[in-house]
Amino acid sequence: MDTIDRPIHATHAVENQPPPLAGYDVAARDVALLEGVRREGAGWDVDGLYALGTLAGSEEAIAWGFEANRFAPELRTHDRYGNRIDEVAFHPSWHRLMEVAVAHGLHGAPWREPRAGAHVARYARFYVWSQAEAGHGCPISMTYAAVPVLRRRADLAALFEPVLTSNEYQPVLLPLREKRGALCGMAMTEKQGGSDLRANTTRAEPFDGDTYALTGHKWFCSAPMSDAFLVLAQAPDGLTCFFLPRVLPDGTRNAFRIQRLKDKLGNRSNASSEVEFERALALRVGEEGRGVATIIEMVNHTRLDCVAGSASLMRQAFAQAAHHARHRRAFGALLAEQPVMQNVLADLALESEAATALMLRLAGAVDRDEDAREAAFARLGIALGKYWVCKRAPSHAAEALECLGGNGYVEESVMPRLYREAPLNSIWEGSGNVNALDVLRALAKTPDSLDAYFAEITLARGGDGRLDRAASSLAQMLAGNPAALEASARRIVEQMALVLQASLLVRHAPHAVADAFCATRLGGEGGATFGTLPPTSGTKAILDRAWPI
Ligand SMILES: Cc1cc2nc3c(=O)[nH]c(=O)nc-3n(C[C@H](O)[C@H](O)[C@H](O)COP(=O)(O)OP(=O)(O)OC[C@H]3O[C@@H](n4cnc5c(N)ncnc54)[C@H](O)[C@@H]3O)c2cc1C
């Protein structure tokens, strides 16, 4: 047989495949982020965002994200001699991600170095860095959110706040007083009652002063390698909040047993576990019977982190979709130059910008919560933002994934990871219905929060007729008894969130963005999927503002 004289790989020419989206500053071209950060009082941290953005978009950090998810954490219940240790082993890439997050203060900078805009800067950093990898945000978020609860006991805060907010990551179990940096988790959910915390059965028996012995279980306890946990348990006078350290002051391990790690849909870099307490010692925080009221402050912060996490995921999903479409040709032209794809990308960009604007406005309210109106606005705004932004993330991720065609369905792209991560923020910290009902509760119990909400919307009055009409019909809808609205809770909350997002865009975004948002989200001109903006929309202007590089 004749040999054919040609290179061995002659059939394998790689053409029309985009270069990887790497080696870029995730923050630098995120105009919606940068404008919002300045608007909400954290313009002083723009350089910090660029530094973290450069790291988040680096090949190195992207590789950490892949490895931390491919090599999932492993539970080590016992040492080789049979002693119970209840530790979790992580891939080195997880530790690199955590080191960066802690060094950049994502877990505690606003508490450690308070200043105007500190929370806005922290939420913006969380949003930027989560684009490298989202799973490790869980312990970072819980540690950040635990501090205001701990402050309810000045003695505990004096002892443990410095170590929980330190910029040093020290993944070793030691007594808290010996640590240079520590993490705090949260354990509320039980098998028989997750959302309904009143059904919790874990018992807390008085042991010595403010120390109690906890016996029971938790069905979900993420980041079980943390140094301490805020836990809910039934004390003699009812459900109470406790601070439970993993290691006791004498160096022995507390009776905190990790039963197994959950095999999860996504969020695979992060360890989520089932745990049991066998007379584990814990310190009471807040009064007996006031457990939910005490821990709710932590939940409010983690809920806003869910908003930030979902906004971050949408931005990264858009960035990946846009990058692909700007490099891939089909039917004789770049995808990004073809009208239907432009419509899809612009619609994804709109959703992403609306999520980012809302996240930053809510972070600003947290920063300014000494102002009663801002605090009231945050009470309602965080609950409705958590509901809506987190609900939008899965469909946004699915549509962005499809922009990459088959490549988006393959694990070597980041899209499957974003897609699997997307539903989680809507589940934890209060699932969709629970959040929607919480909005109704806020309406019923804190009428000033509704006043603050409408005061905010009024700032945009006259900017867009569709927004004005939507705000009026919302006011009519809410004029009745909120308790009678339960069956319509989702519809109401969705509308409240859309009106709030639209008002922010009308006030602060370019006309093309606000106009397309109002037309499709309030004016009935959009369809059921992304990519259904009316042809008159300023697609080019929306995209020119949003391109990631
Ligand atoms: C990956 C992961 C990590 C987690 N980590 C932690 C952790 O670290 N610490 C922790 O404490 N928990 C954790 N959780 C638990 C999480 O907070 C709960 O799963 C969540 O709050 C829902 O509770 P549940 O699973 O018991 O569902 P349920 O409470 O049974 O709810 C099931 C469904 O019913 C709906 N529902 C509930 N009540 C009502 C109502 N009154 N009317 C209408 N609908 C209702 C809910 O919205 C939901 O859709 C984690 C969960 C996951 C998935």
pLDDT in tens, 79-111: 999 999 999 999 999 999 999 999 999 999 999
Q: Is 8 or 374 the better-scoring residue by pLDDT?
A: 374
Residue 51 confidence (pLDDT) above 60: yes
The model's pLDDT over 53-78, given as tens digits with 9 standing for 90+, comes to: 999 999 999 999 999 999 999 999 99
Integer Cα distance of 474 and 462 in angstroms: 16
Ligand 1 atom at shortest distance from the alpha carbon of 222: 8
pLDDT band at 480 (very low <50, low <70, confident <90, very high): confident
Is the CB of residue 138 below 6 angstroms from any atom belonging to ligand 1? no
- DSSP conformation letters of 490-534: HHHHHHHHHHHHHHHHHHHS-HHHHHHHIIIIISS-S-SSSS---
pLDDT level of residue 5 (50, 70, 90 thresholds): low
Residue with CA at minimum distance from ligand 1 atom 20: 428
What count of Cα atoms within 13 Å lies in the side-chain half-sphere of residue 82?
A: 0
CB atoms within 10 A of CB 528: 6
Cβ of 197 closer than 6 Å to ligand 1, yes or no, is no
Mean pLDDT of the chain: 96
Is the C-beta atom of 239 inside 6 A of ligand 1?
no
Residue 189 CB less than 6 A away from ligand 1: yes
Contact between 280 and 246 (Cβ < 8 Å):
no
1 — pLDDT class (breaks 50, 70, 90):
very low
Tell how strand 211-222 and strand 272-285 pair up: antiparallel
**Residue of 143, 195, 221, 488 to mutate, ligand 1, most atoms within 8 A of C-beta:** 195
Is 423 near ligand 1, meaning CB less than 6 Å away?
no
Ligand 1 centroid – CA 16 distance (Å):
44
Task: Determine whether the shortest distance from the Cβ of 440 to ligand 1 is under 6 A.
Answer: no
| Contact status, residue 79 vs residue 85, Cβ threshold 8 Å | yes
State the Cα–Cα distance between residues 192 and 217, nearest whole angstrom: 10
* Cα angle value 190/281/276 (rounded, 5°): 30
274 forms beta bridges with 260
Q: What is the pLDDT of residues 115-169, one digit of tens each?
A: 999 999 999 999 999 999 999 999 999 999 999 999 999 999 999 999 999 999 9
Q: Is 509 in the pocket of ligand 1 (CB under 6 A)?
A: no
Strands 238-245 and 333-334: unpaired
Reported pTM: 0.97
* Best CA proximity match to 168, nearest among 178, 179, 159, 177: 179
Residue pair 285/243 in contact by the 8 Å Cβ criterion = yes
The protein residue with its alpha carbon nearest to ligand 1, atom 43, reads 433
List own/partner pairs for 251-254 with CB under 8 A and 24 or more apart: 251/174, 251/175, 253/84, 253/85, 253/86, 253/173, 254/280, 254/281
- Between 291-325 and 339-367, two packed helices, what is the crossing angle to 10 degrees? 150
Which amino acid would we find at residue 212? Y
pLDDT tens per residue, range 257-300: 999 999 999 999 999 999 999 999 999 999 999 999 999 989 99
What amino acid is encoded at 484 in this protein?
Answer: A
Distance 540 CA to ligand 1 centre (A): 41
In short, whether 434's Cβ falls inside 6 Å of ligand 1 is: yes
Ligand 1: nearest atom to the Cα of 262: 1
The answer to whether the CB of 502 falls within 8 A of the CB of 514 is yes
Per-residue pLDDT, 538: 95
Q: What is the pLDDT of residues 211-253, one digit of tens each?
A: 999 999 999 999 999 999 999 999 999 999 999 999 999 999 9
Best probe residue, ligand 1, of 434, 435, 437 (max atoms within 8 Å of C-beta): 434
Helix (H) or strand (E) holding 413: none
Instruction: Please state, in angstroms and rounded to a whole number, the distance separating the CA atoms of residues 226 and 245.
Output: 9
Residue 334, helix vs strand vs coil: strand
Ligand 1 proximity of 187 Cβ (cutoff 6 Å): yes
Is 426 near ligand 1, meaning CB less than 6 Å away?
no
- Residue range 378-400: average pLDDT? 98
Distance in Å, CA 188 to ligand 1 centroid: 10
Q: How far apart are CA 164 and CA 112, in angstroms?
A: 9
Residues, the chain, total?
A: 549
300: Cβ below 6 Å to ligand 1?
A: no
Mutate to test the pocket of ligand 1, among 431, 438, 488, 490 (most ligand atoms within 8 A of CB): 431
User: What is d(CA 255, CA 276) in angstroms, rounded to the nearest whole number?
Assistant: 8
| Best of 189, 191, 387 for a ligand 1 pocket test (most atoms within 8 Å of beta carbon) | 189
Q: Is 387 in the pocket of ligand 1 (CB under 6 A)?
A: no
Whose Cα sits closest to atom 1 in ligand 1? 272
**536 — pLDDT class (breaks 50, 70, 90):** confident
Residue nearest atom 24 of ligand 1, based on CA coordinates: 194
384 close to ligand 1 (CB < 6 Angstrom): no
Please tell me the distance between residue 374's alpha carbon and the centre of ligand 1 in angstroms. 28
